[in-house]
Structure 1
Amino acid sequence: MTDRIHLPDVVGKGYKDFWYFKGRYRVVKGSRASKKSATTAIWYIYNMIKYTEANLLVVRKTFRTLKDSCYMQLKWAIHRLGVDAYFNCKESPLEITYKPTGQKIYFRGIDDPLKITSITVDAGVLCWLWVEEAYEITSEAAFDTLDESIRGEVPTGLFKQATLTFNPWNEKHWIKKRFFDKADKDVLAKTTNYRCNEFLDESDRDMFERMRLTNPRRYQVAGLGDWGIVEGLVYENWEERAFDFSEIAKRENVHSAFGLDFGYTNDPSALFCGLVDTVRKEIYVFDEMYKKAMTNKMIYKEIVRMGYAKEKIIADSAEPKSIAQLRGLGLLHIHGAKKGKDSILNGIQLVQDYKIIIHPQCVNFITEITNYTWDKDKFDNQINKPIDDFNHLLDAMRYAMERFGRKVSGIQFLK
């Protein structure tokens, strides 16, 4: 290869230790816009060219989230390094090949463990693992299985390494205890934030400054990359468990429930997909949509693609124009939620009467429910008002559950 670039201009500052570390684990928690995923992607593309026998396995909790995240991030890194001609990026199967040597980047989801353990490489060795959004992996044992997939001897000069990148929403996560709470020469545990990202413009920096002033609790995590301290969860009666949607749907007294919360630039549009057993008092969360920058037409197309266009969907009534447009596009059974005085608290109280079973593929729902807490007053006392955060799918769930309850007032909601 004759192409030359000045690497510091491409990568930027703040990741020198990360770039040169060759121990077994690189674990990076960081705020949004801290360029942790971008830097990781560039590192892998650069070093696959450098180490001609290295292959990479990229993993997220669910396979379906990989194409729009890690795969696109690695394609971006290839283009940023100016090596597009040397890589072949395929979507079926999802993989990237370095053409001069046949080295590959494989993509797998923990939701299909057999595909992880059965990987065999055509050229070289499988020596690198990237776990993106590692916070989604709630089971340390699941990570151990992944870690064991990077095994065997490697050629002289090469090294085995697992890299975990994530947002540190919850200080009780196993990652903190394992990698951050004790020093280990084989572990680089690093915290980054937006301040080391010199590629941000003024509007990006202004967003974080507004967050610092208006939402200091969120700023500590989403701005500075500190661990999130979770106290006073709104919903505690839930569990993550795989289940067969079709079998649950066959039960008597089970009804489908779909809710839609609108977002755009800073907040995602969120579709909650559930089954409600009104006798056993159980809510089964089986699917979700969770994407930013979606127009109403894009929301419609995505709901059609997911197969839910004929379902009764209860949407945020604060956007009647959006509901009308979606109905005109073909969602004939979409209706606005019946909001009113204390509707949020009444909806929460109704959901609290149910046990919530969440399918592991609903990673965004799990993230929200593990971080949705009661707000606090200026004296740090909890109040009967939830935080206005981690609530997009949970608001959508409230809308969907509206028809299963009745208005309740004068109730102490805190638990």
Structure 2
Amino acid sequence: MDTTKVYSDLLAAYINPEIRIIALEGSTRSGKTWAALQLLNTIMYRTKKPRLISVVSETLPHLKRGCIRDHRDMLEADGMYDPNAWHDTDKIYRAGKGAMEFFGADSPGKVLGPARDILFVNECINISYDVCRHLMVRTKEKVILDYNPAFEFWVDSKIAPRADAVILHSTYLDNDKLTASQIAEIESNRDTDPEWWKVYGLGEKGSKQGLIIQNWDIVTDLPPRNTWKKAYIGLDWGWSVPSAIELVVLGEGGEVWIDEIGYAPNLDNPEIAKTIIAAGYKDLEIIADPAEPKSKAELRNFGLNVPDGIVKDIDLGIRVVNRYKKHYTSRSLGSIDENRKYRYKQDIDGNYTGAPVDAFNHAKDAERYVFLNRLSNISSGFDVTVGSAARK
């Protein structure tokens, strides 16, 4: 098993009998999550008594893309993965007397369910303290948390002051497994996006100030289709960066639901068309980036409705977006991630300029095309500035 400094620091804290809670705070790519899973896998395989480890993140889709995939990759790399040990329905892996279960913090039955021996909460900054407290009081031994410190939250006020807790800080420089190109990509943000660099480069405390997308939450699923008032597909093309395909639904009460249909780089137009059709939305109007007339024409060849005359005003579009209460389905991982990172530029004095940083905005652009071109006047009978169905 090839380890890093983060793993060594974590192991030292774990074997310290005076420490119960270990918080791994730091930059992107510092190896926090990987180190935690390495330690937990070692415990699972070597335990001499029955021991249950719970790995929790905000939603199951988030876990599938992150910890569950990392867990499998790690064991396969060491020649230890046994497909018969993985129970996909229950999301649990068993090895000897040890077991590791994975579940989302949005599952009340799991959060308030039976106890475990060890708890690992991945990206705990996205989970409320009340939920995490329920998990911790049902944990017999150790608690491990990890997060990028995007803003001050409950770890700072509830965990850091505890005598039985330790915060281990790390940055990408502590991960000697990164390639030169990965390091260069991280460091390319040093001058272009100071707030991003502060949090994800240096691993220092950031702020919610400057975040663009407001008035949103995460939900399990869309409302029943027979309650939809209007629905559209927002599309922003990418290649080396993700193409974003977002379903935007105006529901009862003047609120909006957003479901991510596709979010990936290297998608050509036939793949985009097939994604929309396979999702069952061939009949919906596709509000797409007006700067791509050839791509729009190609989508029309698949029988899709892609109108012209789309307005692209960024500032006005953002204002319309933020008038609505927005519900993002938990599987909309790319769009949710952008909500947490899409922010305004800062001047040399640290003041926000009102101009967005041109990054983490692929899904935001796709959604904005719909809001600006189809929802800016559609709810004229509603007061959407507060996201409610109050009649004017």
TM-score > 0.5, shorter chain as reference: yes
1:208–1:365 Cα change, 3 Å: closer
Does structure 2 conserve the Cα–Cα contact (< 8 Å) formed by 1:97 and 1:103? yes
Alignment partner of 2:188: what SS?
A: helix
Q: Show structure 1 runs of 5+ residues with no match.
A: 1-6, 120-124, 152-159, 407-415
1:79 and 2:76 aligned: yes
Partners of 1:245 and 1:85 lie apart in 2 by: 36
May I ask how many residue pairs the two structures share in their alignment? 370
1:298–1:258 Cα change, 3 Å: same
1:250 and 2:227 aligned: yes
Does structure 1 conserve the Cα–Cα contact (< 8 Å) formed by 2:62 and 2:331? no
Does structure 1 conserve the Cα–Cα contact (< 8 Å) formed by 2:44 and 2:97? no
Q: 226-235 or 31-40: which moved more?
A: 226-235
Residue in structure 2 matching 1:68, options 65, 68, 75? 65
Residue in structure 2 matching 1:178, options 158, 176, 181? 158
Residue in structure 2 matching 1:405, options 373, 376, 382? 376
Amino acid at match of 1:405: S
1:65–1:376 Cα change, 3 Å: closer
Deviation of 1:222 after TM superposition, in Å, equals: 1.7
Partners of 1:39 and 1:227 lie apart in 2 by: 21
1:288 and 2:242 aligned: no
1:360-380: per-residue Cα shift (whole Å, max 9, x none)?
665654554455433233343
Deviation of 1:394 after TM superposition, in Å, equals: 2.3
Alignment partner of 1:21: what SS?
A: helix
| Aligned pairs for 1:28-177 within 5 A | 28-52=24-48, 53-84=50-81, 88-98=85-95, 101-119=96-114, 126-137=116-127, 139-151=128-140, 160-169=141-150, 171-177=151-157
Q: 215-224 or 283-292: which moved more?
A: 283-292
Does structure 2 conserve the Cα–Cα contact (< 8 Å) formed by 1:61 and 1:363? no
Partners of 2:60 and 2:346 lie apart in 1 by: 37
1:346 and 2:316 aligned: yes
Amino acid at match of 1:68: R
Partners of 2:54 and 2:197 lie apart in 1 by: 32
Partners of 1:349 and 1:140 lie apart in 2 by: 31
Does structure 1 conserve the Cα–Cα contact (< 8 Å) formed by 2:51 and 2:97? no
1:240 and 2:217 aligned: yes
Does structure 2 conserve the Cα–Cα contact (< 8 Å) formed by 1:55 and 1:104? yes
| Counterpart in the other structure of 1:220 | 198
Deviation of 1:196 after TM superposition, in Å, equals: 1.1
| Counterpart in the other structure of 1:122 | none
Alignment partner of 1:212: what SS?
A: coil
Deviation of 1:60 after TM superposition, in Å, equals: 1.7
| Counterpart in the other structure of 1:13 | 5
| Counterpart in the other structure of 2:188 | 210
Amino acid at match of 2:4: G
Alignment partner of 1:84: what SS?
A: coil
Deviation of 1:356 after TM superposition, in Å, equals: 3.3
Does structure 2 conserve the Cα–Cα contact (< 8 Å) formed by 1:67 and 1:94? no
Residue in structure 1 matching 2:22, options 16, 19, 26? 26
Does structure 1 conserve the Cα–Cα contact (< 8 Å) formed by 2:221 and 2:330? no
Alignment partner of 1:273: what SS?
A: strand
Partners of 2:225 and 2:304 lie apart in 1 by: 26
1:334–1:42 Cα change, 3 Å: farther
The CA RMSD over aligned residues, in Å, is: 3.2
1:86–1:233 Cα change, 3 Å: closer
Identity %: 26
| Counterpart in the other structure of 1:332 | 304
Amino acid at match of 1:49: Y
1:11-39: per-residue Cα shift (whole Å, max 9, x none)?
12243221232332221122222111211
Deviation of 1:198 after TM superposition, in Å, equals: 1.0
1:299–1:178 Cα change, 3 Å: farther
Does structure 2 conserve the Cα–Cα contact (< 8 Å) formed by 1:274 and 1:284? yes
Q: Normalized against structure 2, the TM-score is what?
A: 0.81
Deviation of 1:241 after TM superposition, in Å, equals: 6.7
Partners of 1:352 and 1:38 lie apart in 2 by: 36
| Aligned pairs for 1:347-362 within 5 A | 347-358=317-328, 362=332
1:315-351: per-residue Cα shift (whole Å, max 9, x none)?
33344555455555x57234577245xx101212322
Q: Normalized against structure 1, the TM-score is what?
A: 0.77
| Aligned pairs for 1:391-402 within 5 A | 391-401=361-371, 402=373
1:317–1:26 Cα change, 3 Å: farther
1:136-170: per-residue Cα shift (whole Å, max 9, x none)?
21x2111112223324xxxxxxxx1222222222x
Deviation of 1:46 after TM superposition, in Å, equals: 1.3
Deviation of 1:105 after TM superposition, in Å, equals: 1.5
Does structure 1 conserve the Cα–Cα contact (< 8 Å) formed by 2:44 and 2:100? no
Q: Show structure 2 runs of 5+ residues with no match.
A: 378-392
